[in-house]
Structures are given as C-alpha cells and as structure tokens.
Chain A
C-alpha cells in the first residue's frame, strides 16, 4: 500500500464537478499570453521568411540565403562551434561525472558544486575574462612564449567561441550525467558482474547504456544553447556565425531584410530539431532503475596512478572553470591590464564608476526581472493547477506551449517582437511597444516561463491530492482549499521558480541586445555588452559582470535553500514508522 504520502499521484481523477467556468477563466489568460507573446511573434518570423511581399509565399529568400557564401559559411561555423562545444563539454564533464559517482573521491561534493559555477556567470562575461587569460596576448600565452617560445591559439576565431561555450555549458552534461549515474541501481552492475562481466566491457554494456539518456539530454541542451548564443560571438568579435549575422542583418540592413528571417528560421529548425532528436533518443529509456531501498553504484577506492591522474584532471578542470570568475574579478579591480600576465596596479574605481553611472541599469534589471519572474510564476502556477488538477481539454497544450519557449532562440523571439508588434502603441504609458522596456520585460517573461512551469508543476506534483480532499471534506471549497492548502504547500517551488526565472533573465542578452533601444532603459546585461565595446570601459564592464555574478550566485544559493526547505517540507509527510 502507498505509505510514501509525499508521492505524486494522478490528481485529475479526483476532481468531479470542476466548475468549468472558473477553469476557463484561468486557462484563457494563460493561453492568450502564450499565443500573443510566443506563438504569434515566432509565427511572424517564420512567415516572413517565406513571404514574397505581395501576400504570396516564396522560397526565394531561402535560395538567396543559400546563394550567399557568407551565409553558408556562417551556417557551417555555427554547426562546427556547436558540435565542438559539445565535444569539449563532454571531454570535461564525462570524466568528472564518472570519477565522482564511481570512486571514493575526496572532494567529490566540492567538484559537483564547483562544476555548477560556470552557469552562474553569463558566457559573454566569461568571454572577456578568458580573452585576457587565454587570448593571443593573454596571461597564459605570454607565459608560454616567454618560457617555451610558443603560443596556443585558444581564443583565435571560432576556437575562442568553442572554448568559452564548452567551458560555460559543460555543467548541463555533468548534472544530467551525474543524476543518471546516481539513479543506476547497484544491483544492475552486480548482476552483470555475477554473470561474468567486468572492466571496460561492464562499463560499455551495462553502466554506459543505463546512463546514456542523461548524457544525450545534456548534450542536446548544450548544442541548442551554443547554437542560439549571440552574446559570446559578439563579445569575441566573431561575426561569421548565424546568430551574429541575424543580429547584424536586422540592425544594419533593417527589419525588412528577409535574410534575417531566414537565419531565424534555420536557428529555430535546428533548436527544435536537436531537442526533438534528444527526446526521440531518450524516449522510453528513462532508466531510473534505482528502487526505494536500493543502493546506487558501489564506490571503489582510487589507487596509484589512477588516483594521480584523477586528481590531476580535476584540478586542471577546476582551474579552467574558475578562470573566468578569477579573470573578471581581477579585471574589475585592475588599473591597467594589457600585454601583461597580471594587471599593473589595482583600484576600486571601476566599481565607483559603475555604481554612479550604471545604477540605473542595475535598477532596470531588478525591475524587468522581478516583473517577468512574477508573470512567470503566476502563469506557471496556473498551468500546474490546470494540468494536474483539472480535466480541461487541451490542458497539456498549455504546458507544451509554455515549454516551447525553450527551443526558441532569444534573437528569434526579439526579431518576432519587433516584426509582430510594429506600430502597436502601449496603453496608458504611450509610445511604441517595441521601443519600450515593456517589450524587454515581456521577452524575458516568455523566455524564462519554462523554468517557472517546471518548478511549479514539480511543486504541485509533490502535494498529494488527499491533502486537498481532506480540506474539502472538512468544509473548504475549491478556492479556499487552493488558498489555505495548495498555495502554501507549493510556496517553496513557486519561490524557487521565481528565483530561477529572475536570475536567468538577469543575464539574458540575445533578446535584450535587439530590444534595448536606449541606454536609459538598458538592463545590466546590455550594459556589460556596451561597456565591452571599447578598451577604455572594459574595467567598468568587468565590475558590472561581477555584480551580475553576485546577483546570480545569491539567487542560485537562495533557490537551493528554498528547494531544500521544500524537500524538508515533504519529507515530513512520509510515514515516520
């Protein structure tokens, strides 16, 4: 019998006589938001890629795109960079995951915590620091050429993008793979050993296939993120890739240039394609074989040379992982730092500059992200409730629709906003929607909605239906039950969703960069990009970057605490006998 009270259960089965009117009242605004601010702009972009301007359809723009050698080159480069980043991320993440799950490894917890650190810093911020440390005249190459007389082209052209992105996004693979490895029941492996399998064959035939879905999910995410990233190539001044080309087309040629839309089309197709492919591969292979009371893979001691190699690898990777943080901190404190291993003198002046000149940007970020994350958790909570607690026809589509934003590159959404909402005036405030901060805020809300949805749906799944039924049988109607039982019990997840949406919006650049039309309404992330445009303001840019990192780090810590508190909250519902 079911003793784990915290376990989720199909809740909809117990909702007779749902007041249909109330449910529709809840569902309609949610659906409207998704349709107007996600589906419509994206559809506009895709349509424009095929529109011949006279109301008909044409493949002419696609042909034009293919005939431009720059476009073919950009497309190839984007693919190469994305695949290269996946390869680099795999190289970093797989050994880390295997070492920490498989072996008795001192500092395994440290590795896994530090392994998440890159996500705390937006990649385009890290790019600046890595340029200083690993660039042609960066610290490492200066040391190398002084002592050994050669340089390594870490940051040359596409290399730089791969280096930055791989270093930034490997945690996606690490986290997924570690979770998958941890979920393997030790008995799976012991059964194979009992039947005579060992060593590499054991890994190849049992352990790896069981963990493969986790790896594929992580790798697909890395591919999509890199394929869509606009900030890093721009900061590194690499423009012969798809995202920067789309940006340049729209900003220099204009909103009417069809090539920009074709690029957007290609980006959407590849994003959706990669995610669909990963879903296809992992479908039906969710091998969470670890059962209640089972034990995970047995850890083995590390000995001799393997220990030396393992610790050496970990130290190297950690040094690389921490280098952007270290570099950006150093840059924000340096008077002058160029053509030297370390800065030539330190100062706090950049922070003073930033806090006086750019406090407006920090304020903007706070305002936009608070509003966007607020919208997200309200919509997320509504979607979770509709999905899990009602039998509204098509409720699944709300979830899918909201989550679809994951597969839409920020630049595509921004182009869609500009195109679809052309000439629309804001009510009350006045002025064009696309020229206003409201558009930035809405783009954030759309892009970060999937995080809030996942978080709130998970939270509601944790709330056993009987907790609501108990309230109803004691006299609380649906609304009172929601207010007194459901929302309080979901609160941890709602807050965690808010924080996640907030911090990821705070470092959003791909959509921001197109939608921010004046410095007065620019958020922090745009400020960093802007300051990075000239050497003179690189110091303040780094200071802003540090501030962004601190905001994100605090938020990440907060959301972990909230999720822990929530886990504690549900734990107490498990039978204590």
Chain B
C-alpha cells in the first residue's frame, strides 16, 4: 500500500543560536541544531530541560528571543502556527472530543479547503496507514490509548506536513505497547521519509528509535550524536549519567602522553587510559587544576583471578545482589566507594554472594575520563 507514500521529500530543519527566556527564567540558551532531511531526531532530557519548549518553538507556539529557525531553508520566525506546515502530535494527543475520528482527521484538510470527495479519500488513506480502518465514526473517548495515539498521528499525517513533531508520543502508553509502538513509528517514518523530531525523557526510548539525538539539560545542548556515540563516548558527566547507568569517581591525570594517560581513580587504583577515551574538556580541566572524573559502565566490570596488564584492578566486597532477569546487578564496596556491576545471569553471578570478597577488573578501553564541574 502506498497511500501514505512520501509526496514531498523531507526537508532539513536548522536551529541557529536560539535563546528563549520568560523574564529572568532562561529556558533555552544558544541552541543550534542541524537536522537532515528525512532524519528521525530525538530531543532527550529531564523535565525542565527545555526540550518541549524547543519543539513548541518549531511548531510556532513559542517565540525565540534571538536566533533563527529555518525549515526547508525558509526562516519561519514570523509565521503563526497555522502557516508553518509543521505537524505536531501532542503528548495527550489533543483529540477533539466533540468530533468523530474521521472529523478529527479531516480537520486540517477542511482548513486547507480541500474538496469533500478528496478529503474523504484522504481520511480513508491515513486511517488505513495507521491500521484504524473502520474506526471513522467512533469518538475519541471510545478508543484505547494506543488507538487514540494513532488517530493523533493520522490527523497530523493527513495534511502531509513537511516536518513531523512528536511530543512524548509514547509516554501515555503502557510499557508493552510502548516498545511496539516505537518501532511502528520508526517504520512509518522510514516509509514516509518525513523529517521527524521527537521529544522524550526516556533515554531507552530515544536510543532505540532515533537516528540521532540531542541531550538537553537546563536549556543547553550537552551533546548531539548517534545513540552509540552518546553511550560510548559521552562528553560530560551529565550525558554519561543520563544515558545508561554508570560508575563515576573523582580522578587525577598523573601523566599524559600522545597515546595514553595514566589516570589515578580515587580509591580504586590506576589505569592506562587510551587518549581517545579522555575528553578534551577533562585535559583542560586537569591542566587548570579543576576536578575531573573517571567513569565506566556496570557491565564493563569483570571478575578476575589474575591481573591483565593496564587494567584497572581492585578488591571489593559484595554488598547486595539484585536479580534483574537478563543480568544480575551487584553492589560492591571498594574502600569508601560503591561500585555497581552487572554480570550476565548464569555465567558469573551465582559465584558472588553478599559478604564475599573478590577481585575485579575494568579494561582501560572501557574507562572514560570526563571533566567534573561542580553542580
């Protein structure tokens, strides 16, 4: 079925130095983004990070104090929402309760003064596209949460917007439906080739669906990259902690070389960390006498009997174990520090019980050195 096939190719979205403040309350600071045509892009951040504000700015519901927003090359700053050709799916779906499903979907087309017959046909097409054939005459209140969401998407897709904005599209669905719907969304987006921005506070959701993402905190973009880049090489402590779980400790650079830095990690030991794993900001901070930190993921920790050269090695006592299904999470006491370790179920986990002491190691390639600004 090619009913919803792309009729116009995706356009690019450029955000250039945008700032927004309500009085003294700065919500967005100097935001710049470059989103490619057809890209599925996520804005990820905790609540209050400004991600929804940025999305609403693109839709025309907020206005920037400075900076530029270009959609398909055209500056949209002065355009009201109804002239932007940007489709937005609201977190609460915002389906009009006084209209049927078909009337909801037809709304945008009626505003565009399409002839009736074409509207009817188009409504049928998009409802088909979201697998809601035969739901035309229902009211939104008679639908399940998942169905309501699909109506909201159909209503937006009906007008063939050049950019699709999704505000926490999965947050109102239950856990099981969430994963399936996320993949469904991605498939749909791929097929239509429509540039899509997607706001979420759930890092897992963002990582599984998005091509690239931007992590926001306190109105500032912390990092932009593919899910893999953000996970493997977060540029700062915030991103490292926000994307996945991580152990972070105060650290010191003892010696630096072109290929390696010898890093002393407080209370755990020393490691020869490869240069690409040491963030530029950390080197600058260390040179300036400011705090830096070393970090590694819980699954990077191994139980060892004999040492491997260059590894970070430490003894620790198992405090608690927590069975999480695919893996077992252990909390270790290493001196004054707590280390979280994830070990695959049925491989090593049985061996470690609370109270037991063991030796652990982390390969230097798994260690990240970041600057650690005071919060």
Contacts and interface: CB of A to CB of B under 8 A. Distances in A.
A199 interface: no
Given A16-B63, A464-B92, A470-B94, A577 B174 contact: yes
B172 A485 contact: no
Contact of A466 (B82, B90, B143, B148): B90
Given A3-B172, A14-B61, A474 B111 contact: yes
B159 interface: yes
Nearest to B148: A576
Interface residues of B, number: 44
A484 interface: yes
Nearest to B113: A475
B375 interface: no
Interface in A247-268: none
Given A489-B97, A573-B140, A575-B172, A475 B108 contact: yes
A16 B52 CA distance: 16
17 contacts: A1-B172, A469-B61, A470-B95, A473-B59, A473-B84, A474-B156, A474-B159, A475-B108, A476-B82, A484-B107, A569-B97, A570-B97, A572-B97, A572-B140, A576-B141, A576-B143, A576-B144
B63 A17 contact: yes
Given A576-B145, A577-B173, A473 B93 contact: no
B355 interface: no
Nearest to A577: B145
B247 interface: no
Given A476-B108, A573-B95, 12 more contacts: A14-B61, A16-B60, A466-B90, A469-B59, A470-B152, A477-B80, A484-B107, A573-B140, A573-B141, A576-B145, A576-B148, A577-B144
A219 B179 CA distance: 55
Contacts of A476: 82, 107-108, 111
A347 interface: no
Contacts of A576: 141, 143-145, 148
A470 B90 contact: yes
Interface string B91-106: 1111111100000000
Interface string B39-60: 0000000000000000010011
B92 A2 contact: yes
A472 B171 contact: no
Interface of A: 1-3, 5, 14, 16-17, 464, 466-467, 469-477, 480, 484-485, 488-489, 569-573, 575-577
A485 B96 contact: yes
Contacts of B111: 471, 474-476, 480
Contacts of A469: 59, 61, 81, 88, 90, 94
B108 A474 contact: yes
Contacts of A484: 107
B302 interface: no
Given A474-B159, A572-B139, A489 B98 contact: yes
A122 to B, nearest CB: 36
Contacts of B148: 576
Select the residue from A485, A488, A573 with max chain B CB neighbours within 10 A: A573
A575 B144 CA distance: 8
Contacts of A472: 60-61, 80-82
Interface in B132-191: 139-145, 148, 152, 155-156, 159, 168, 171-174
B62 interface: yes
Contacts of A488: 98
Given A474-B156, A476-B111, A572-B97, A1 B91 contact: yes
Nearest to B81: A472
Contacts of B93: 5
Nearest to A485: B96
A12 to B, nearest CB: 11
Interface of B: 56, 59-63, 80-84, 86-88, 90-98, 107-108, 111-112, 139-145, 148, 152, 155-156, 159, 168, 171-174
Contacts of B171: 1
B63 A5 contact: no
A197 B173 CA distance: 43
A577 B173 CA distance: 7
A315 to B, nearest CB: 42
A467 B107 CA distance: 12
A16 B76 CA distance: 14
Select the residue from A2, A469, A488 with max chain B CB neighbours within 10 A: A469
A424 B317 CA distance: 95
Contacts of B86: 473
Nearest to A1: B171
B6 to A, nearest CB: 19
Contacts of A573: 92, 95, 97, 140-141
Nearest to B112: A475
Contact of A16 (B62, B143, B159): B62
Nearest to B64: A16
A162 B60 CA distance: 60
A473 B87 contact: yes
Given A14-B56, A16-B62, A575-B172, A471 B80 contact: no
Select the residue from B108, B156, B159, B173 with max chain A CB neighbours within 10 A: B108
A473 B142 CA distance: 24
A466 B61 CA distance: 10
Nearest to B142: A572
A1 B108 CA distance: 28
A571 B81 CA distance: 28
A577 B144 CA distance: 6
A572 B172 CA distance: 15
Contacts of B61: 14, 16, 469, 472
A472 B97 CA distance: 16
A1 B95 CA distance: 18
A475 B159 contact: yes
Contacts of A480: 111
Nearest to B171: A1
A572 B88 contact: no
B59 to A, nearest CB: 5
A256 to B, nearest CB: 54
Given A16-B61, A573-B97, A474 B155 contact: yes
Nearest to A466: B94
Contacts of B60: 16, 472-473
Select the residue from B97, B107, B173 with max chain A CB neighbours within 10 A: B97
A575 to B, nearest CB: 6
B75 to A, nearest CB: 15
Contact of B96 (A2, A489, A575): A489
A391 B222 CA distance: 33
Nearest to A476: B111
Contacts of B95: 470, 573
A472 to B, nearest CB: 4
B56 A466 contact: no
Contacts of B168: 1
B206 to A, nearest CB: 15
A298 B139 CA distance: 36
B151 to A, nearest CB: 11
B80 A17 contact: yes
Contacts of B141: 571-573, 576
Given A1-B171, A572-B97, A576-B141, A473 B81 contact: yes
A577 B252 CA distance: 51
Contacts of A474: 82, 87, 107-108, 111, 155-156, 159
B94 to A, nearest CB: 4
